[in-house]
Amino acid sequence: MAGKILIVDDVATNRIVLNVKLAAAYYETVQAATGAEAIALARQVRPDLVLLDVELPDMDGIVVCERLKADPATRDIPVVMITAFRDTARKMEALQAGAEEVFWKPLDEMVLLARLRSLLRARETAEQLGLRDSTYRELGFAEAAPDFAPKALVGLVAGQADTALAWKRVLQAHLDDRILVLDRETALGNFAGGRVPDVFVVAADLARPGDGLRLMSELRSRPATRYASVCVMLPDNGREVAAVALDLGAADLLEQSADPAEMAIRLQTQIARKRQSDRLRASVADGLRQAMTDPLTGLHNRRYALPHLARIAERAEAAGRQFAVMVLDLDRFKTINDTLGHVAGDAVLVEVAERLKSNLRAVDLIARIGGEEFLVALPDTTPEAASATAERLCRVVGARPVRLKDGGSVQVTTSIGLALGGRGTRGVEDLIGLADAALRESKAEGRNQVTVRRSAARA
């Protein structure tokens, strides 16, 4: 399943129609007919997203949204509101209440699904960053967020400078942040010594139709602007452009005819998210590396890995998802140390760590937990995907010899034990034990291979 979505609508037919559309896109759904039921279900099942009708029989849908956003247990769940009335004032109320998006009925299925995909991708990234941050906090190494936040920087890129200046004039009345008018070349500059915009607003069409989407892709691929939020300004009748922009990574969509106050609210939301993600990334990057990383390879160490793996298991248990744990051990590593020396052994460990890290997702955990032993955890995976990942890691380690500083080289292979966990499985120590037993089997069967063990359920 692509995610779990809570559908809230008092009309059963509407819930059925949405359920069919979402099921066809491989989403799991739960349903509620009232606001009170929606709030209770959101706390109970922790959906990945809420589709919420504005008009409900027991309470206003906007009130439901406000309560969800006020509750620490549900405030990070994206809320998409749906209404049959094209009431701009109500739309503004919904956005001010914390809704990520508001759609008019009848729903445009293509744009709706693209928006859901966009919001779920953003939520997954934020959750994984938050998971790492909370691990640091549990270990007592995270710093408190600063009380003061400087003014944000918003960069506007339109086909014509006059157009961008017009955007600036209407937005400046609603934003207390710095706004810059940029051309395409300046937006793609390296910003050496200068500040990178927190949010870019890019016209979908610049010199030619679709140029803005190409610019957005460039911004997201460059190190200087990779983490900036990009909002796309849609042309009139930009339905197909909207879906493509979201799937290419647009954080939000702005309509040229929209109320400037609505544009400002959307930009303020993106600024807040950018600040949060910056803080989380800084925590992950700088959270006292010496205490939680291996000084030789730069990977996390056992002290970090075990509590973080416990959090991955807790999240899998709550969400009913699967995860995987691997224990990897370099084959005949002692021989390398004994014959070529510890300097060569260190070079092998550094290179193997880099090969492993470069073949894993950003959300995966990799740690050095012993001399030549590594631990890998794959959150939100399937048995098939986990096995394929383990086989790939086994291949990349042995794909080519490791070059040494003296000009020589040494061939290295690894044996891997893989254990699969999820709802109802035993604790992480038992899971690591299963992976370790599978590793010993790989060694006994000739090394340079993967052995899989499934976790036994709790008694």
Q: 336 burial class (0-12, 13-18, 19+ CB within 10 angstroms)?
A: buried
> Does residue 106 have a cis bond before it (omega within 30 degrees)?
yes
Cα 100 from Cα 35, distance rounded (Å): 18
**442-459 burial, b if ≥16 CB within 10 A, otherwise e?**
bbeeeebbbbbbebeeee
CA 91, CA 281: separation in Å to the nearest integer?
32
d(CA 277, CA 124): 12
CA distance 219 to 189: 10
Tell me which of 66, 100, 101, 372 is the catalytic residue: 372
Active-site residue 372, yes or no? Answer: yes
Residue 188 phi/psi, 5-degree rounding, is -95, 5
- Round to whole Å and give the CA distance between 267 and 327: 44
Structure tokens at 395: 């291949």
Which residues are annotated as catalytic? 372
